[in-house]
Amino acid sequence: MKTNATLAALMLAATAVLSGCATGPSYQSQQQYYPANQPESAMYGTVDSIQLVQGGGQTSGAGAVVGGIAGALLGNTIGSGGGRTAATVAGAVAGGVVGNQVEGRRQQAQGYQISVRLDNGEYRTVVQDNANDLRPGNRVRIVDGRVYRY
């Protein structure tokens, strides 16, 4: 019984450590970004360029938990006694790492980096989830951090 409590505590600790490895999208540029949720008045201009950008995989920790459980179950089928406990812990840790990486790859954020030359000569770069019918050269307006065809 003591072994099961120790095993459960180790699995919980491994899952907590691994779920802390989550990272968010990291868009890098020399221009200023205006996220879609930042309030801003309407600005008018012309689309200069549109590029597809990829952010880092953002994870919730669910992949690490599921992977850790699956790894622990597989590790528990190996050996007996102390060897079984060691294999269970190793399986939980390895499964948590793999599960977190798989979730991160599946959750990769994609966005469109839209560069707009405003009527006053300034440039704005907006990253949003879609570019719908926008093309370079289109007249657009930027409202609340999103680019719309005008």
Q: What is the mean pLDDT of each run of 10 residues along the chain (150 residues)?
A: 60 59 47 50 90 73 84 84 85 86 71 92 89 91 90
End-to-end CA distance of the chain: 69
pLDDT score at 124: 92
pLDDT score at 14: 60
Conformation bin of residue 98: beta by default, left when phi > 0, alpha when psi is -120 to 50: alpha
Rg of the chain in Å (alpha carbons) = 23
pTM for this predicted structure: 0.44
Tokens of 6: 């120790």
pLDDT score at 76: 85
pLDDT score at 7: 59
43 exposed, middle or buried (CB, 10 Å; 0-12, 13-18, 19+)? middle
